[in-house]
Amino acid sequence: MNSKINTVTGEIQPKEMGFTLPHEHILVDFIGVEETGKHRYNPEEVINVMFPYLLDIKKLGVTTFIDCTPMYLARDVEILKELANKTNLNILTNTGLYGREPYIPKHAYKESIEELANQWILETKEGIEDTLIKPGFIKTAVDGEEFTEIENKLIEVAAVASNETNLTIATHTCFGEKALQILKVLNDYNVKPQKWIFVHANIEEKLELILQVAEQGAWIELDGVGQEGQDEKILNILDILIDQDYEDQILLSQDAGCYFVGEPNGGEIRPFSPFITEFIPVLRDRGIQDELIQKFTINNPASAFSI
């Protein structure tokens, strides 16, 4: 079977993805699962505020934008679809649950792994909420150094859902120890490390832990480009990963945006364009060949998100 990519406007082929930002946000609401909802914002305002930022990157050659806002943090697939249509960008959304409080719905504690996985599988097969829009990947999150029961459970849910749908799992992880624990759980379910993305890997201070995760074959996502103090760290990690021949497992992004629900006009927005206008020139200045830059921004995202 040919592989494909699920965007909010339909299926495309991996080779159609082109230049991709694999971890960004259009809209986020941090109020928590009890209070969040579509009543908290005006979709038209969100679209009007975010449209110019997306148009900017479209003009700079970005063709695919991966939105990492999970369910209960204002994942709004209709807004994403409208923006995809207006900008002609491919936009991907996700299924899954963010395994950190206050974003975990009560039912996640009560229901079985299979029951929860079935909900994510249903979204993948039939569409999210009342739409026909399908997720392009599974998003989960863990927090801190300890692996809690609910975090472990949600990784198991992700494994079951990934096995059924072939969606890749991206987990907000930050720490290498935790990444290795997640890979163990996934291994118990026969999910290959190649189907898992170590999100925010640049937060980990110990390079040897990042290398241990890379050695297993997982995707190393350095997604803090442009964030305070992160660029130097990312460049340093990049050098080592390239030196050790892990260039086929690297993803680069900014975790930028976005319209923050509850703030006037969405608050202060970090634009997406500096990745192209500032960071790519820095990579070139360091002597990183265009061929490698193309790998990080085109080839790797296409294989990471292939279904």
Site residues for Zn ion per CB under 5 A: 68, 255
d(C-alpha 227, C-alpha 298), whole Å:
22
Contacts 24+ apart (CB under 8 A), 143-147: 143/99, 143/100, 144/175, 145/175, 145/177, 145/178, 147/178, 147/181
* Cβ-proximal residue to Zn ion, closest one: 255
Residue 8 or 160 with smaller CB distance to Zn ion: 8
**Residue-wise burial string across 18-44, b where 16 or more C-beta atoms lie within 10 A, e elsewhere:** bbbbbbbbbbbbebebeebeeeebeee
Residue 22 or 121 with smaller CB distance to Zn ion: 22
Residue 199 tokens read as 């999100």
Give me the least distance between CB of 167 and Zn ion, in Å please: 18
d(C-alpha 131, C-alpha 123), whole Å:
9
Give me the least distance between CB of 196 and Zn ion, in Å please: 16
d(C-alpha 207, C-alpha 154), whole Å:
27
Select from 278, 291, 305 the least CA-distant residue to 242.
291
Give me the least distance between CB of 257 and Zn ion, in Å please: 9
Give me the least distance between CB of 124 and Zn ion, in Å please: 21
Give me the least distance between CB of 23 and Zn ion, in Å please: 6
Residue 68 or 91 with smaller CB distance to Zn ion: 68
Residue 141 or 288 with smaller CB distance to Zn ion: 141
Residue 123 or 255 with smaller CB distance to Zn ion: 255
Give me the least distance between CB of 228 and Zn ion, in Å please: 15
Residue 254 or 299 with smaller CB distance to Zn ion: 254
Which phi and psi angles does 15 have, rounded to 5°?
Answer: -70, -15
Residue 116 C-beta-side C-alpha neighbours within 13 Å: 27
